[in-house]
Amino acid sequence: MSGLSAGCRQVDEELDQRFGSPASGLSEPARRHVEECERCRKLNEWMEKASPLSPCPPELYAMLQSKLSASLTPVSPRPPMWVIACRFGMVSVLLMLLAVGVMGLAGFDKMDMPQLLGITTILATGVTLLSFCLAWQITPGSLQRVSAFAAVGSLAAGFFIGVVLLFPWHTPEPFLVRGLPCLGIGLGLAIPAAFLLWLVARRGAPLGVGTLGGALGAMAGLVGVSVLQFTCNRQEAEHLLFWHGGVLLLSTVGGVLIAYLLNFLFPREA
């Protein structure tokens, strides 16, 4: 439009108005410009040859309306964000309580009060933060106050700092022999947790594939870490960091990789 003369712009504006009122004609200045400008003359001739659209019969409108109404199905309203977050939290906590009830409280008996309060606060904060993070991930247009990367990073940093400050550093028994069973149990708990959390997540509209997979993996790993914390009788810092923390790390990375693999094998339609 910047290269057009004032007359061409006037003709364009009046021809645009003709779409809304086909019977209207050009003004006298516009007609004089059309006689002198080949570009506007061709455009005007095309407009004059174009037949106006015939009005749609009322019967057609009624038929379309009835078909559209028949195809509509009722949907339930989207629950508030805190309700969605509570669903993720409840699934995780119930699975933790079930596993702890079966495996016992050997770790609980080994911790003193500062250790118990400190690590419980860190784990509970992680569950809350990741629950809201997952709720944001499956709700398009939601305000994500904390990114999934920041949530997982905060959980990992909090667990690391808490273990370093609260628990002693000594390993009286073989490190590998005592650690591998914990790693296996933690990952074994993370698998059903990830599946149950996925059942909740699939009811929404997931956003980033890798981000959601990582958040689900971190939440599932947190379930395994929490159960181990209260059931494992090895409450030494190096054991907790390497073997219990390894559950969180492997679950998070595994969640990202599995999410991308499933998206590659079963791509979602755009």
pLDDT along the chain (270 residues), means of 10: 71 74 71 85 78 63 80 79 95 96 92 95 96 92 86 94 93 77 95 95 84 94 96 92 95 94 74
Virtual torsion, Cα 76, 80, 81, 85, nearest 10 deg: -80
Say if residue 35 is in the same domain as residue 159: no
* Total tally of structural domains belonging to the chain: 2
Q: Which of 259, 248, 240 is nearest to 152 (CA)?
A: 248
Q: What angle do CA 3, 30, 22 make, to 5 degrees?
A: 105
**Domain shared by 241 and 149, yes or no:** yes
pLDDT for 171:
66
Residue 52 has a pLDDT of 53
Q: What is the pLDDT of residue 19?
A: 62
Tell me the residue range of the domain where 46 lies.
Answer: 6-67
pLDDT of residue 119: 96
pLDDT of residue 48: 73
Residue 173 lies in a domain: yes
Give the pair of three-digit tokens for residue 193: 């947790």
Pick from 88, 85, 252, 239: nearest CA to 170: 239
Q: What distance separates the 2 farthest-apart alpha carbons in the chain?
A: 101
Question: Based on the domain organization, do 233 and 129 belong to the same domain?
Answer: yes
Point out the domain boundary residue: 14, 44, 67: 67
pLDDT of amino acid 79: 86
188 and 98 part of one domain = yes
Predicted local distance difference test score (pLDDT) of residue 270 = 43
Burial of 217 (0-12, 13-18, 19+ CB in 10 A): buried
pTM: 0.71
